[in-house]
Amino acid sequence: MEKRTGFNANQIKGIAIAAMTLDHLTWAVFPGTQAVWYVFALHIIGRLTAPIMWFFIAEGCYYTHDMAKYIKRLFLFAILSHFAYDFAFGIPFLPLSTGVFNQTSVLWSLAWAVVLIWICNQDRIAQWIKIISIFVICLLSFPSDWSSIAVMCPFFLYAHRDNFKLQARDIVLWTFIYATVFFLFLDKLYGLLQMFTFLSIPVLARYNGQRGTWRGMKWFFYVYYPLHLVVIGLIRIVLHGDIPILF
Q: Which residues contact 204 (CB under 8 A, 6 or more apart)?
A: 12, 51, 52, 55, 164, 167, 168
- Cα 237 to chain centroid distance, Å, stands at 25
User: What average pLDDT does range 54-74 have in this prediction?
Assistant: 96
> Per-residue confidence at 4, pLDDT binned at 50, 70, 90?
low
Query: Could you tell me what percent of the chain has a pLDDT over 90?
Result: 88
Residue pair 108/77 in contact by the 8 Å Cβ criterion: no
d(CA 154, CA 11): 20
Q: What pLDDT digit, counting tens, does each position of 112-146 carry?
A: 999 999 999 999 999 999 999 999 999 999 999 99
User: Backbone dihedral region of 34: left (phi > 0), alpha (psi from -120 to 50 degrees) or beta?
Assistant: beta
* Bridge partners for 7 per DSSP: 207
Asked if the model's pLDDT at residue 34 lies above 90, the reply is no
> Per-residue confidence at 57, pLDDT binned at 50, 70, 90?
very high
**Predicted model pTM:** 0.95
Residue pair 90/243 in contact by the 8 Å Cβ criterion: yes
Provide the terminal-to-terminal Cα distance of the chain, rounded to the nearest Å.
40
Name the 3-class secondary structure at 144: strand
Helix axis angle for 149-159 and 106-120, nearest 10°, is: 40
